[in-house]
């Protein structure tokens, strides 16, 4: 296994609001040109430390079982580890043929899994974090929008499997915030109140508290909420393709 210290060019970690770094790679589903091949779709690009390891196996089975739910949200999954293609293929076959976990069995992973023996893609995306491991990628999750911009990044360590409720909640939240031009409070889920953007001027801020817009509740000039029905969110996100 190559060591991160052998990489000649350490890339700065890409950040939220920046374009997703471009790369071409071999995957279990053929070659991809990223992010160009995914224009017009959301992508969850995620890394896992190693094939044939238990936490990663449980995560792959969960991602694969949820693939249709992500597709309904116009979202594709792309996985990566610093293993080779034949290791990926053998591991995914073993998962399908032998592993049963939390009621999931006979699970076929149909989304692409990138081979990255050179660690180039993992390096490009800051998935190699030497404090955690010199030879494996951490569990990174990049949410990339239909324009190829990075919108959220979550990192997990090697020892902790991801929370898939949260991954789906983040995706829905990002899409809802875009569709309705609102911000979303702590723990927001469809049907909960949303945050009305902050007033632009002092007068608007004063008006907002004295005579709030219909349907808007202002607790102070900086904190106004309004209802956003679950059905409206569902209509905007699940019917839009
Ligand atoms: C796992 O997926 O089980 C795992 C991978 C690398 C280090 C520790 C655990």
pLDDT for position 241 = 52
The residue with greater pLDDT, 7 or 105, is 105
pLDDT for position 145 = 98
Ligand 1 pocket, mutate which of 48, 56, 127 (most atoms under 8 A from CB): 56
Ligand 1 near 135 CB (within 6 A): no
Question: In this structure, are residues 70 and 110 in contact, taking their beta carbons and an 8 Å threshold?
Answer: no
pLDDT for position 240 = 60
Ligand 1 near 157 CB (within 6 A): no
Ligand 1 near 67 CB (within 6 A): no
pLDDT in tens, 184-236: 999 999 999 999 987 777 777 777 777 777 889 989 888 999 999 999 999 99
Ligand 1 pocket, mutate which of 80, 156, 159 (most atoms under 8 A from CB): 159
SS3 string, the chain, reads: CCCHHHCCCCCCCCCCCCECCCEEEEEECEEEEECHHHCCCEEEEEECCCCCCHHHHHHHHHHHHCHHHHHHCCEEEEEEECCCHHHHHHHHHHHHHHCCECCECCCCCCCCEEECCCCHHHHHCCCCCCCCCCCCCCEEEEEECCCCEEEEEEEECCCCCCCHHHHHHHHHHHHHHHHHCCECCCCCCCCCCEECCCCCCHHHHHHHHHCCCCCEEEEECCEEEECCCHHHHHHHHHCCC
Find all residues with CB under 8 Å of 222, minimum gap 6, and list them. 198, 199, 205
Ligand 1 near 56 CB (within 6 A): yes
Which atom of ligand 1 is found nearest the CA of 58? 2
- Residues forming a β-bridge with 131: none
Environment class of 124 (CB within 10 Å of its CB; exposed 0-12, middle 13-18, buried 19+): buried
pLDDT in tens, 51-103: 999 999 999 999 999 999 999 999 999 999 999 999 999 999 999 999 999 99
Is 13 a residue whose pLDDT tops 60? yes
Cα→Cα distances 58→32, 102, 116, 160, 168, Å: 25, 9, 21, 11, 17
Compute the distance from residue 55 Cα to the ligand 1 centre, in Å.
5
pLDDT in tens, 109-140: 999 999 999 999 999 999 999 999 999 999 99
Cα→Cα distances 16→31, 143, 225, Å: 26, 9, 25
Question: In this structure, are residues 212 and 178 in contact, taking their beta carbons and an 8 Å threshold?
Answer: no
pLDDT in tens, 139-162: 999 999 999 999 999 999 999 999
Which atom of ligand 1 is found nearest the CA of 59? 2
Summarize the confidence of residues 26-43 as an average pLDDT.
Answer: 98
Compute the distance from residue 160 Cα to the ligand 1 centre, in Å.
8
Q: Which CATH number fits domain 4-162: 3.40.30.10, 3.40.50.2030, 3.40.50.1110, 3.40.1190.10?
A: 3.40.30.10
Q: Which CATH number fits domain 181-237: 3.40.190.10, 3.40.50.10490, 3.30.1020.10, 3.40.50.720?
A: 3.30.1020.10
Q: Give the residue extent of every domain in the chain.
A: 4-162, 181-237
Compute the distance from residue 4 Cα to the ligand 1 centre, in Å.
18
Q: What is the mean pLDDT of the chain?
A: 94
Active site residues: 56
Ligand 1 near 158 CB (within 6 A): yes
User: First CA to last CA across the chain, in angstroms?
Assistant: 41
What number of residues does the chain have?
241
């Amino acid at each position: 296994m190559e060591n991160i210290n052998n990489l000649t060019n350490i890339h700065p970690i890409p950040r939220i609001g920046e374009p997703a770094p471009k790369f071409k790679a071999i995957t279990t589903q053929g070659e991809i040109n990223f992010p160009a091949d995914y224009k017009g779709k959301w992508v969850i690009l995620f890394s896992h430390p190693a094939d044939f390891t238990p936490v990663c196996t449980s995560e792959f089975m969960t991602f694969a079982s949820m693939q249709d739910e992500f597709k309904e949200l116009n979202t594709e999954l792309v996985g990566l580890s610093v293993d080779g293609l034949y290791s990926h293929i053998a591991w995914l076959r073993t998962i399908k043929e032998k592993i049963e976990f939390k009621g999931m069995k006979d699970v076929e992973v149909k989304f692409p899994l990138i081979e990255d023996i050179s660690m180039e893609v993992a390096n490009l995306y800051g998935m190699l974090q030497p404090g955690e491991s010199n030879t494996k990628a951490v569990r990174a999750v990049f949410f990339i929008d239909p324009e190829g911009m990075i919108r959220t990044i979550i990192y997990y360590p090697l020892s902790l499997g991801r929370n898939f409720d949260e991954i789906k909640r983040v995706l829905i939240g990002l899409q809802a915030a875009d569709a309705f031009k609102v911000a979303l409070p702590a723990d927001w889920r469809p049907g909960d109140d949303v945050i009305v953007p902050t007033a632009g001027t002092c007068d608007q801020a004063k008006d907002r508290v004295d005579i709030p817009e219909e349907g808007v509740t202002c607790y102070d000039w900086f904190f106004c909420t309004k209802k956003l029905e679950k059905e409206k969110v569902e209509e905007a996100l699940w019917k839009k393709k």
